[in-house]
A and B are shown apart, each in its own frame.
Chain A
Amino acid sequence: MGTFIQLVIDGLSTGSIYAALALAIVLVNQATGLINFAQGGMAVLSAYIAWALNGLGIPLLLAIVAAVVISFFLGAVIERYLIRRFERGDPDTAVVVTIGLLTLITGFCAWIWTYNNRLFPSLFPLETIQIAGAVVSVRSLGTFIVIVACMLLLQALFLGTKLGLALRAVAINPASAAFSGVNVGRNLMIGWGLAAVLGAVAGVLVAPQLTLTPGMMDSALVYALAACILGGLSSPIGVVVAAWLIGVLENLAAVYVPFIGHDLKIAVPFILIFVVLIVRPQGLFGRKAVVRV
């Protein structure tokens, strides 16, 4: 039983990382209509920036905060100068652009910091505590709590503030928002900036465990995309729940299903997807997209 709880909590922790990335993808998709395959890569860059700042002597927490803020502006700038041009066109072309961006960012990190694994200091002490007879790492718990806090903050922003209202309006119907005086371009930049912030938080939280390397978030991206398929791109709650589900299930499968083991647990989300989507093509929570011709 102790193992089970441990696996569940660890699963919720890694699931939260996927959830943060998935939320970022959903945010960008709702605002600009495309899937950003570079979302994980941007998160890695954020982690490197935090690591570099920390290496210069800046205390870890401050370095992380600075990296997060820088990521916001990076996300905004990328939207304005790289992606904006492709928002009016076909989403498949936009995806290829984001793949180019992913390659560029990963390559940039490799050029500056090489492919060697770097040790990223942990925000949380490497201790464990006892919960209901299970040994749970503080880091897992901390990761989960921090990301949930971020999600709640984001939710508060979207539902409670004027900016949030504008962001939602732009995502639903940019022309109407513009007719009401909302500066659509600026809000798109903010949307991308917020997505980058989510990614940055995920990146710095998972880096101590995975060690920092340019391809660090490649797998996380795959999980996040799986969560998006399962949860439905139109449902932020759906993808978060799906991400947690994926995190927990893969951990359980790795231990309790010997064939899968630790190396093949990445297959778990896709088995899930095949099963769910045969029954409900729009995902667990999403709405059926009605295309009016």
Chain B
Amino acid sequence: MTLLELADVRAFYGRVQVLEGVSLTVPDGGAVGILGANGAGKTTTLRAISGTVRSTGTIRFDGKDLRGLRPDQVAALGIAHVPEGRGTLGDLTVRENLRVGAYKRKDRKGIASDMDYCLDLFPQLQDRIRSNGSALSGGEQQMLAIARAIMSKPRLLLLDEASLGLAPGTAKSVYQAIGRLRSESGIAMVVVEQNANLAFTLVDSATVLETGRNALTGSSAELKGMDEIRRAYLGG
């Protein structure tokens, strides 16, 4: 059951073309990684999905064509984008950040229980529940961003560089939490990561992008075994 399908996606910033035909499939409940060097187009791919960037080609979510939709409309369909840089709502408290995440929902009980779940998943947020978002550390802000995304009860999570700027230990625990989330909720994921080692702890398959195109695609097992991948991304 394919949840998300990208075929020959080209994306533009103004008149500059950044993606030159990217393809991707995510099965229901699956986790797919997008790897590659800086400038390869990983973030742009996510932005094409969530509608923040102009694109051509096919982007289908649960059979529905996503192109032309505004980002909030894409979110309403069940896709939660955790952006690069985390997008923390600095002047709002942690609790308010989470409430914003649940903006589209109307089920009070569900929202409350999801908030409890998030705070259980990320205990550090519980301690800081009344602090302003801007007062949180980098790792806490990343957890907050993921929690905010979870609050919208998405079917697909777009994670952009979740480990960026985090100490290795913190990054690892963030990924562990995401892994727990995945196994407990069955949310599908697209994970953009420069740290391929971390990505492979989470995803079933991945595609490697180079200058806006798919260079290699395969299951995690296959890719981990390839020499090029090992040398370029796994440190030998």
Contacts and interface: CB of A to CB of B under 8 A. Distances in A.
Interface of A: 162, 165-166, 168-169, 172-173, 175-185
A181 B151 CA distance: 11
B91 A172 contact: yes
A180 B92 contact: no
Interface stretch (B3-11, B19-27, B81-89): B81-89
B96 interface: yes
B88 A180 contact: no
A169 B100 contact: yes
B184 to A, nearest CB: 22
5 contacts: A166-B100, A172-B92, A176-B148, A179-B50, A182-B100
B152 interface: yes
Interface stretch (B36-44, B72-80, B116-124): B72-80
A166 B88 contact: no
A172 B152 contact: no
B60 interface: no
A180 B152 contact: yes
A222 to B, nearest CB: 29
B71 A169 contact: no
Given A169-B89, A172-B89, A172-B91, A179 B96 contact: no
B182 interface: no
B186 to A, nearest CB: 21
Given A177-B72, A178-B52, 14 more contacts: A166-B103, A169-B92, A169-B100, A175-B71, A176-B100, A177-B100, A178-B70, A178-B75, A179-B81, A179-B83, A179-B149, A181-B72, A181-B152, A184-B72
A181 B87 contact: no
A165 B80 CA distance: 19
Interface in B166-216: none
B92 A181 contact: no
A169 B149 CA distance: 14
A176 B87 contact: yes
Interface in B96-125: 96, 99-104
Given A166-B100, A180-B100, A182-B100, A175 B52 contact: yes
A185 B51 CA distance: 14
| Most A Cβ at <10 Å: residue of B50, B72, B80, B82 | B72
B165 interface: no
Nearest to A183: B72
Contacts of B72: 177-184
Q: Which 6 A-B pairs have the closest CB atoms?
A: A176-B87, A181-B104, A178-B71, A181-B75, A178-B72, A179-B81
Given A165-B100, A166-B103, A179 B71 contact: yes
Contacts of A168: 89, 91-92, 96
B68 interface: no
A169 B104 CA distance: 14
Contacts of B103: 162, 165-166, 169, 177, 180-182
A228 to B, nearest CB: 18
Contacts of A178: 52, 70-72, 75
B57 interface: no
A181 B76 contact: yes
Contacts of A182: 72, 100, 103
B218 interface: no
A185 B96 CA distance: 21
A179 B80 CA distance: 6
Given A172-B89, A172-B90, A180 B104 contact: yes
A67 B80 CA distance: 41
Nearest to A176: B87
Given A162-B103, A165-B99, A166-B103, A179 B92 contact: no
A184 B73 CA distance: 11
A230 B151 CA distance: 39
A168 B90 CA distance: 11
